[in-house]
Structure 1
Amino acid sequence: MADTATLRTEPLASAVRKATRHLMPMLVILYFVAFLDRTNVGFAEDALQMERGISAGAFALGAGIFFIGYAIFEIPSNLLLKKFGARWWLARIAITWGIVAAAFAFTTNDTMFIILRFLLGVTEAGLFPGVIMFLAEWFPNKVRVRMFAIFYLAQPFSQMLGAPLSGGLISFGDQYTPWAGWQVMFFSEGMLAVIAGIAAIFLLIDSPQKAKWLDPDEKAELIDVMEREDSVRQEDGPTGVWRAMSNWKVWYFTVIYFCLQIAVYGTTFYLPQQVSGLIGQEVGWQVGLVTAIPWLVGLFACYYFGNKANTIKRRRNWGTIFYILTGVFILGSAWAGAANQPVLGILCITIAVASFLSVGPITWSFPTAFLTGTAAAAGIGLINSLGNLGGFVAPLMRTAFNEAMPTDSGAWGVVSLGVFAFLAAAMIAGTRFFRAKADDLLEEEALKAPAH
């Protein structure tokens, strides 16, 4: 349960606790399944190449082209979410992407694989930025990083539980069904998304005004603080779709998020293969269990630091430190692989994963402090869509470096990922030069909070 002791009144704290309890589990489940369906392709790489003749180049293109479809439809999807409401639109996203994800079980060639990866991006577009915008309308700035962190827990959960789940489904399918294990994995995990989308229709509420489970005092306090913060964002940030998309701060955070996604997806897509190479085992149950270790550690790190990042100083300083750690330990994992040091390699991967998971929620606290309304729909959509192109660039860049400078460990491909994290660190540190009015409000609320 979220710590709400620092909020200014008990009705407000109670409203936040209820909103956390009623909304966050469903949102975590949606992102859990989404992250699982977009990254489980790493477990099927070898099988797709051997059984369906999918080439390494087609796999790299397919892994990344997801983000092209995602980027094209991200902003329209976010604007439609604003029009139709989060409950119905998030449910639609989950159901349609689940159908596409299940269709991967029937992949037969390079072209089909690439098309399905593109369609997966198209159908999932809007989920992540839609939830970010949804949380910014439900939770005060004081606790928003905490809520982002809870939402982000779906990433380590999906990899910590999803890695052995995907490996287990492959093993089960190969041994006990007439289908290939990778087919069973794709179909089963796609259907999970469909079920989650149907559940979202019944469990999500579009706004505090519609929440029947809030008492009148709780509802009034929550609406009051959100309207106050909204007025600050309207005064401090751009208004309208086009002004948001041309705002320099929006583009500044787009570059930061692009750098983050290169590290995240460049690591995640190839993590099973990297772990397989380090421990000398084929991808399956054992690799799945070892792959879960970094995500287990990252789960606790993400929640702990998200829970504590309740001042602008902490958000900026910790964001800078975590980006630096991400870069350093991605580079360290490359060295460990080249030096045949499996324990050190797993340790470096673990710290890198924990760092980029911890910095994600902190990064999103900056744009949500000055974007609201349709500007938020467009601005957050732009940051996420173009930033996520890092997921398209990462596998192609990693493959290109490995082909240009081949080694048994693929170290140069890994090194290319870590460099961008240092640029993000410098840019987060640079946010001290354009303090937003929402930062002042955040510090003011800290002074108002009752002592405990």
Structure 2
Amino acid sequence: MSISDATSIIEPEGSSFEEATYRKLTWRLVPFLFLCYIVAYLDRVNVGFAKLQMLGDLQFSETVYGLGAGIFFIGYFLFEVPSNIILHKVGARVWIARIMLTWGVLSAAMMFIATPTQFYVLRFLLGLAEAGFFPGIILYLTYWFPAARRGRIVALFMTAVAIAGVIGGPLSGLIVKGMEGVNGWRGWQWMFLLEGIPSILVGLITLSYLDDRIADAKWLSGPEKTLINSAVSREQQEKQTHGLGEVFSNGKVWLMGLIYFCFVMGLYGISFWLPTLIKALGVKDLMDVGLLSAIPYAFAAVAMVLIGRSSDQRGERRWHIAIPGFLGAAGLVLSVSFANSPVLAMAALTLGTVGILSTLPLFWSLPTAFLGGTAAAAGIAMINSLGNLAGYLSPTLVGMIKDATQSTNNGMYMLAGCLALGSVLTLSVSRQPTTSKA
């Protein structure tokens, strides 16, 4: 896709000063945040690829793997809200850099694990280190973009999940296969080391690249700052104001957390188990597994942006979230039904991945429509931390089910049920019309 084609998807038509300003803002912030999220997501889920070698080397069971993969999210849960409040106080530039530097070091250290305890401890610490990154970026985008523009902006940012899958599968396969035995290390050890380094480098760049607020952006002119600031300020005045105590007792916040939990169950079911599911179809070569795992994510990347743009244009959120959720559930069920047909099973896994990933960016248009200020920092973090408990539960349950039944089928049914429930709950949310463009 050319830059001009990408621009036509990301931005509405028009050549006014307003459109030119938001075009400038988009190309300044989103590609860099996109890069940050790609390296973050690679470090979070590359354990799914390492599993194909690591379990045999270290004699870990599927249950041990599932618990270790998921325990990341316990640390993530514990530090999520405090981390996002700190970001709101000290600024995104320093805090996002801190997050990326610490998780890069810990991710690289995964190469040295030898026991289940070491696996659990490092995954837990990795969760602590990364806590606050994703909700911090979502909060950061509310400082710059009004609600009517955030659907496609968040969708574009979150296609990094899909692009990480497109890049990460082949890259991980290449490292695991190509670096096998170099310096006496196994391929999975090299993968953790080499995929941890980019997080450290990007974290250092963050310190000089990001600006905390509109007023700090030297690359914006005075009139551009005034335009953006007036749009964001006007929106903040219209939002409900909550104290921190009210956030934790707000039923809408808990409902958002439950919806996100259901969708994240599906996300990490795919993220941690897709290589295993593809290998179960009869694909033996790890490089081939990596290449095939890129296919579902490539389709999802396109779908996420197109659905985000459609939602912004129509000012509609609920059905744009629920329909992909139902499609994701259908894809997981069909992948089990077509297990004896690799082509049909891959098509079903692609449908499931497209549906699951397309729910996530637009979901965030719901809570950011009614939370503002410090309450937004706490509320977004709370919703994200509640939802990401599914990142612990999903791989743990699927691993236990696989150990008990020698099959992932029932695990996929369980994940499909969660996606369907999340879609139903989304449709129960009261309509919140998207405000017109600033």
Q: State the one-letter code of the partner of 2:254.
A: W
**Aligned residues, how many?**
431
Give me the whole-angstrom Cα distance separating, in 1, the residues matched to 2:305 and 2:11: 14
Alignment CA distance shift 1:388-1:230 (3 Å):
same
Matched, 1:295 2:302: no
The equivalences for 1:128-277 within 5 A come to 128-174=134-180, 176-233=182-239, 237-277=240-280
| Residue 401 of structure 1: how far off its partner (Å) | 3.0
Q: Unaligned stretches of 5+ in structure 1? A: none
Give me the whole-angstrom Cα distance separating, in 2, the residues matched to 1:20 and 1:27: 10
Report the equivalent of 1:396.
396
Q: Secondary structure at the match of 1:314?
A: coil
Q: State the one-letter code of the partner of 2:169.
A: A
Report the equivalent of 1:314.
316
Q: Secondary structure at the match of 1:79?
A: helix
Give me the whole-angstrom Cα distance separating, in 2, the residues matched to 1:312 and 1:392: 35
Q: Secondary structure at the match of 2:374?
A: helix
| 8 Å Cα contact 1:29/1:154 also seen in 2 | yes
Post-superposition Cα deviations, 1:353-411, rounded to whole Å, max 9, x if no partner, equal 1111111111000000111111011100000001101111111221333344x25x421
Post-superposition Cα deviations, 1:305-341, rounded to whole Å, max 9, x if no partner, equal 112211575321121111111111111112122xx11
Post-superposition Cα deviations, 1:85-129, rounded to whole Å, max 9, x if no partner, equal 001100100000000000001111110001000001000000000
The equivalences for 1:434-445 within 5 A come to 434-436=430-432, 439=433, 442-443=434-435, 445=436
Give me the whole-angstrom Cα distance separating, in 2, the residues matched to 1:176 and 1:209: 50
| Residue 177 of structure 1: how far off its partner (Å) | 4.3
| 8 Å Cα contact 2:52/2:276 also seen in 1 | no
Q: State the one-letter code of the partner of 2:136.
A: G
Q: Secondary structure at the match of 2:143?
A: helix
| Residue 240 of structure 1: how far off its partner (Å) | 2.2
The equivalences for 1:305-344 within 5 A come to 305-310=307-312, 314-337=316-339, 340-344=340-344
Alignment CA distance shift 1:248-1:283 (3 Å):
farther
Give me the whole-angstrom Cα distance separating, in 2, the residues matched to 1:151 and 1:25: 8
Provide TM-score, normalisation by structure 1. 0.92
Q: State the one-letter code of the partner of 2:299.
A: V
Q: Secondary structure at the match of 1:270?
A: helix
Post-superposition Cα deviations, 1:128-176, rounded to whole Å, max 9, x if no partner, equal 0000000111111111011111111111111101111011011121154
| Residue 252 of structure 1: how far off its partner (Å) | 0.7
| Residue 178 of structure 1: how far off its partner (Å) | 2.8
Q: State the one-letter code of the partner of 1:77.
A: S
Q: State the one-letter code of the partner of 2:321.
A: G
Give me the whole-angstrom Cα distance separating, in 2, the residues matched to 1:400 and 1:305: 35
- Percent identical pairs in the alignment equals 38
| 8 Å Cα contact 2:88/2:374 also seen in 1 | yes
Report the equivalent of 2:4.
none
Report the equivalent of 1:379.
379
Give me the whole-angstrom Cα distance separating, in 1, the residues matched to 2:155 and 2:395: 26
Provide TM-score, normalisation by structure 2. 0.95
| 8 Å Cα contact 2:214/2:225 also seen in 1 | yes
Q: State the one-letter code of the partner of 2:259.
A: I
Give me the whole-angstrom Cα distance separating, in 2, the residues matched to 1:112 and 1:402: 23
Alignment CA distance shift 1:401-1:176 (3 Å):
closer
Alignment CA distance shift 1:435-1:414 (3 Å):
closer
Q: Secondary structure at the match of 2:179?
A: helix
Q: Secondary structure at the match of 1:138?
A: coil
